[in-house]
Amino acid sequence: MPRSATIARATKETRIEATWDLDPATAGGDIATGIGFLDHMLEALAKHSGTRITVRCQGDLHIDAHHTIEDVGIVLGQCLKEALGERAGIERFGHLECPLDEALVAATVDVSGRPWLTYELTPPGPMLGQLPVELVPDFFGALADQARICIHLHQRCGRNSHHIVEAAFKAFARALRQAIRVTGSEVPSTKGMLG
Question: In the chain, pLDDT over 90 holds for what percent of residues?
Answer: 92
What is the pLDDT at residue 192?
A: 64
Write the CATH number of the domain with boundaries 4-180: 3.30.230.40
In the sheet that holds 14-21, the strands lie side by side as 4-10, 14-21, 52-59, 28-32
What is the pLDDT at residue 171?
A: 98
- Domain regions of the chain by residue span: 4-180
Reported as a single tens digit per residue, the pLDDT across 161-182 is: 999 999 999 999 999 999 999 9
What is the pTM assigned to this prediction?
A: 0.96
**Residue 53 in this model has a pLDDT that exceeds 70:** yes
Reported as a single tens digit per residue, the pLDDT across 135-158 is: 999 999 999 999 999 999 999 999
**Residue 75 in this model has a pLDDT that exceeds 80:** yes
What is the pLDDT at residue 76?
A: 98
**Residue 190 in this model has a pLDDT that exceeds 70:** no
Give helix 36-49 / helix 66-84 axis angle, nearest 10°.
Answer: 20
Under 8 Å between Cβ of 107 and 175 = yes
What is the pLDDT at residue 194?
A: 64
Under 8 Å between Cβ of 35 and 129 = yes
